[in-house]
Structure 1
């Protein structure tokens, strides 16, 4: 089953392992909660498309998946996420460190993944 997975920038920067389209990964996935801000910065309904959050520190069991696609998400904060300020860019590789883009801060990755064992 394919799902969208959110990976916060700090999760990758803390202890993430770079991956690319086609990578076989082992991630700790938890239910997707607290992502309503994606609807604010990108567009209404985006948060509802996210099926899981990758959380290195959550204690969830490891799930095997294949990375289908990767998008970076940048947006402005003032101090909260600024409505309509989000931008997605499709990339082939998720690096451990991703730069900000001017006044848009790197928020994280939206990854399409094929779970090896369903959901």
Structure 2
């Protein structure tokens, strides 16, 4: 599941591995932009994204589970295309609390989170 930095920094609550969470998820995610930065093997595992800003025209589902894995996602941005292909880096974390710092020229973009239901 994808947790976007902008949405998370605005409205997210800290969580850690082992936390019980209930999140609104949307399943209509297009992972092509993740494929560009992280490759298809990682991107195809993303089946939803956390959604805080209610759009009544789009279906979301309340999902509860236990946080099993947290990875910070960083990539290099390009002025023309938005993302430098293949520049994505994943960092394992034990907790998430208002994002992660940028890593040199790699910008923090969000989290990949695994929930066990």
TM-score by length of 1: 0.86
8 A Cα contact 1:68 1:114, kept in partner: yes
Question: How large is the Cα RMSD of the aligned pairs?
Answer: 1.3
How far did 1:42 drift? Answer: 1.3
* Shift >6 Å, 4+ stretches: none
How far did 1:65 drift? Answer: 1.1
Aligned to 1:104: 106
Secondary structure of 2:116's aligned partner: strand
Secondary structure of 2:48's aligned partner: strand
What is the rounded CA distance, in whole Å, between the counterparts of 1:51 and 1:104 in structure 2? 24
1:49-68 aligned at under 5 Å gives the runs 49-58=45-54, 60-68=60-68
How far did 1:61 drift? Answer: 3.7
How far did 1:32 drift? Answer: 4.4
What is the rounded CA distance, in whole Å, between the counterparts of 2:109 and 2:26 in structure 1? 18
Aligned to 1:21: 17
Unaligned runs of 5+ in 1: none
Secondary structure of 1:28's aligned partner: strand
More strand by share: 1
What is the rounded CA distance, in whole Å, between the counterparts of 1:32 and 1:98 in structure 2? 26
Q: How many residues align?
A: 111
Unaligned runs of 5+ in 2: none
**CA deviation vs aligned residue, 1:33-78 (integer Å, no higher than 9, x gap):** 1321111111123222112110111353421111001000000111
What is the rounded CA distance, in whole Å, between the counterparts of 1:90 and 1:45 in structure 2? 17
